[in-house]
């Protein structure tokens, strides 16, 4: 089955074009629909296999990053989104999108509860906007569909409120369920709390989490940015050394999702 992807847009989101391009490169059909249109007709969500909540500066981050979008999801879209998840479909949130689905309670969905907020994304410990590339390492025991085959990856972050924080009880649940999927790492691939490798001070070095099913996933780093090898900050040196890849490593997340749809839905 050819995957159909829904990319909600509007109100300051700005990563939709790269996101849409990548999905089309891996064979999916994509529709960008304004979030206001979805709120008027939430049932449209059911016609898709994947929802991608992209990043940007939704609502200008004026109240708190992603919180207004989270309220839209919670108050107007949540019943359809829960039905979407129960039907075995996939959701991803990147940066602003991650903030929104965490603050709406869609993630981490401890014990399968998609209605209760148990974590948040807070201001970076550095007290400033962080715009840099970071090393990430994946939890090999996670069942996350989106990160299959990933061991280590190098991606950019662009955020002022990316510090993943939760109660010790919630963090312990994430560890037990291997829902802590991606970690900020040092150059040797070891999860770290040290700045700037951990750009925001996230608890346990967490950069991304999944729900218990592994089909709903969110992370702060922008995987859609690294769609081309020429977007890597060191591409000239890589080209000289003959190490320039054919495509950007960030494409793997979308390819994993599209493959899952083809094989399971």
CATH number (domain holding residue 19): 3.40.50.880
Mean of pLDDT values over 13-34? 97
pLDDT at res. 62: 83
Among candidate residues 95, 144, 159, 161, the one labeled active-site is 95
- In this structure, the dihedral spanned by the alpha carbons of residues 58, 62, 63 and 66, taken in order and rounded to 10 degrees, is 20
Structurally, how many domains does the chain consist of? Answer: 1
Residue 160 CA from chain centroid, whole number: 16
Residue 32 annotated among the catalytic residues of the structure = no
Q: Sign of torsion, CA 91 207 69 32?
A: negative
Residue 95 annotated among the catalytic residues of the structure = yes
Tell me: the pLDDT tens digits for 118-170? Answer: 999 999 999 999 999 999 999 999 999 999 999 999 999 999 999 999 999 99
Among candidate residues 135, 159, 222, 232, the one labeled active-site is 222
A 10 A CB-CB count for 140 gives: 9
Residue 224 annotated among the catalytic residues of the structure = yes
User: 189 in the Ramachandran plot: left (φ > 0), alpha (ψ -120 to 50) or beta?
Assistant: left
Domain housing 249: 4-264
Provide the β-strand partners of residue 156: 133
Provide the β-strand partners of residue 94: 219
């Amino acid at each position: 089955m050819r995957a159909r992807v829904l990319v909600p847009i509007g109100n300051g989101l700005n990563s939709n074009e790269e996101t849409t391009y990548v999905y089309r490169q891996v064979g999916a059909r994509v529709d960008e629909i304004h979030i206001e249109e979805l709120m008027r007709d939430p049932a449209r969500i059911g016609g898709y296999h994947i929802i991608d909540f992209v990043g940007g500066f939704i609502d200008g981050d004026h109240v708190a990053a992603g919180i207004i979008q989270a309220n839209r999801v919670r108050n107007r879209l949540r019943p359809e989104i829960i039905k979407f998840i129960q039907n075995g479909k996939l959701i991803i949130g990147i940066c602003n999108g991650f903030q929104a689905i965490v603050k709406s309670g869609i993630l981490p969905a401890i014990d399968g509860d998609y209605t209760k907020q148990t974590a948040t994304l807070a201001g970076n410990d550095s007290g400033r906007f962080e715009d840099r590339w970071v090393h990430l390492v994946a939890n090999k025991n996670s069942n996350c569909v989106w990160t299959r085959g990933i061991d280590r990856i190098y991606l950019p972050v662009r955020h002022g409120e990316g510090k993943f924080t939760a109660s010790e009880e919630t963090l312990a649940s994430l560890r037990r369920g291997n829902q802590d999927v991606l970690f900020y790492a040092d150059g040797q691939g070891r999860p770290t709390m040290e700045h700037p490798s951990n750009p925001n001070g996230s608890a346990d070095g967490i950069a991304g989490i999944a729900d218990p099913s592994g089909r709903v996933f969110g992370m702060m780093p922008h995987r859609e940015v690294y769609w081309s090898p020429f977007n890597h900050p060191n591409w000239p040196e890589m080209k000289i050394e003959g190490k320039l890849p054919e495509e950007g490593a960030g494409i793997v997340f979308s390819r994993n999702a599209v493959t899952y749809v083809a094989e399971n839905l």
